[in-house]
Structure 1
Amino acid sequence: MELAGPTLTLRYATPADAAALFALASDAQVTRFFSWGPYTKVEQPLAYIERLAGQRERGEQLDLLIVHRDDGPIGVTGLAELSRRDRRAVVGTWLGRRWWGSGANDESKALIGRLAFDHLGLDRVGAYADVDNGRSQAALERTGFVREGVLRGWHRHGDSVRDVALFSLLRDDFARSRLAAVPTQMRGEPPQSFVVLPFSP
């Protein structure tokens, strides 16, 4: 499965992408608010990649590599915390520091939104951002996500427990947003473990 936009493609990562992911996520600024990282050896992203197929099949995690048409892999986006009954999931995205503020986040959110609402049948996509991560919060609001409040003690990072701001994007929000205007081409089929309701736009 691949989703292609004007400058980016979302696709499954392969072991050949491990070196690129290591280069991107060995930057401590990139992983500052994550529960993992920074990477210190290439075996870490390789182990991550090797887990992805099983996670997809079990409906646990649907991570996709963000690939720039000229620069190759630049980050990762994906869906987790799937609730089939409630037709919702949570999106997470990270980009190498070079692509912060480049518009890559907006386009990747447009692609993952198209996947979530049009191809998986979701009604809600949530997102979290650390309360101290103003850049991430602003990026979510810029793409149309609505801030709903703060979840206290939600995210464990090492020995610390962090509060996170909660955001959401509903199907109608996406349809009205500028993300819906981004041209998107879908190739292949999404994993059936994540398809909650067949949807024809």
Structure 2
Amino acid sequence: MKKLELKPHSLTYADRIFTLTSAPEVKNALGLHVDTVDNTIDFLQAVMQEEMNGKTVSRAIFNEEEELIGITTLMFIDQTKKSCSLGTWIGHEYWGHGYNMASKYAILRIAFEELGLERVFIGSRLANKRSQNAQKKLPFITWHVEADYPDVHAELEEKEKQPCLLNVVYRADFPIS
């Protein structure tokens, strides 16, 4: 598995994040409306505030060369329900190199070992086949849980404004180190 490091966000990462998310491959996949570095700074400040409020754990992903290559985020953390949702994006020039899987393992360790969660939902737009194919590589994921968690599925589709697939990783199925 690829070696990487997850680091807390810093405003000093704004230029690099803006560059990565400006690529059409990433911008279109995420449906982003971030048009300036200032928008990226606003995003980072909002994420850091959400983390201080206990609603989010978001990390910048750094590869072996210590390059920032993407972001992975635990969001909508609900300690009562012991669940959250997970979203990850990787800069398109790093696609196909195993960074997505490695980042998922790292952020899921935080969810299960540090936060004590039991379920992490991973959704994707039905139109985003690349995301679905990446999720298929995760041996511990449970597919198509829309009927089991209709409220979570409805919230995802409302957020994305289009049909979505809902999957989940259960703590019991994840290889805790």
TM range (shorter): 0.7 to 0.9
Structure 1 residues 176-187: aligned runs within 5 Å: none
CA RMSD of aligned residues (A): 2.0
Aligned residues of 1:155 and 1:164 also touching (Cα < 8 A) = no
Question: What does residue 163 of structure 1 align with?
Answer: 163
- Considering fraction of residues, name the structure with more helix: 2
SS at 1:90 equivalent: strand
Aligned residues of 2:2 and 2:99 also touching (Cα < 8 A) = no
Aligned residues of 2:55 and 2:78 also touching (Cα < 8 A) = no
Q: 1:86 aligns with which of 81, 84, 88?
A: 81
| Aligned equivalents of 1:27, 1:71: Cα separation in 2 | 20
Question: What does residue 69 of structure 1 align with?
Answer: 64
Alpha-carbon shift at residue 52 of structure 1 (Å): 2.4
| Alignment-mate amino acid for residue 148 of structure 1 | H
Q: 1:123 aligns with which of 106, 118, 121?
A: 118
Q: Specify which structure has the bigger relative contact order, considering alpha-carbon pairs within 8 angstroms and separated by 6 or more residues.
A: 1
Alpha-carbon shift at residue 69 of structure 1 (Å): 2.6
Aligned residues of 1:35 and 1:156 also touching (Cα < 8 A) = no
Alpha-carbon shift at residue 154 of structure 1 (Å): 1.0
After the TM superposition, list the runs of 4 or more consecutive aligned residues in structure 1 that deviate by more than 6 angstroms. none
Aligned residues of 2:9 and 2:48 also touching (Cα < 8 A) = no
- Considering fraction of residues, name the structure with more strand: 1
| Aligned equivalents of 2:99, 2:29: Cα separation in 1 | 19
The answer as to 2:49 corresponding to 1:54 is yes
| Aligned equivalents of 2:30, 2:119: Cα separation in 1 | 23
| Aligned equivalents of 1:25, 1:163: Cα separation in 2 | 23
Question: What does residue 22 of structure 1 align with?
Answer: 18
- List runs of 5+ in structure 1 lacking aligned partners: 182-201
Question: What does residue 157 of structure 2 align with?
Answer: 154
Superimposed CA distance per residue, residues 44-98 of structure 1 (whole angstroms, 9 cap, x where no aligned partner)? 1111112222111212222110111305100000101112112111110001001
- List runs of 5+ in structure 2 lacking aligned partners: 147-152
TM-score by length of 1: 0.77
Superimposed CA distance per residue, residues 149-193 of structure 1 (whole angstroms, 9 cap, x where no aligned partner)? 554681445xxx201100100012112xxxx57xxxxxxxxxxxx
TM-score by length of 2: 0.87
Alpha-carbon shift at residue 43 of structure 1 (Å): 0.9
The answer as to 2:142 corresponding to 1:139 is no
Aligned residues of 1:33 and 1:130 also touching (Cα < 8 A) = no
Number of aligned residue pairs: give it.
169
Q: 1:114 aligns with which of 96, 101, 109?
A: 109
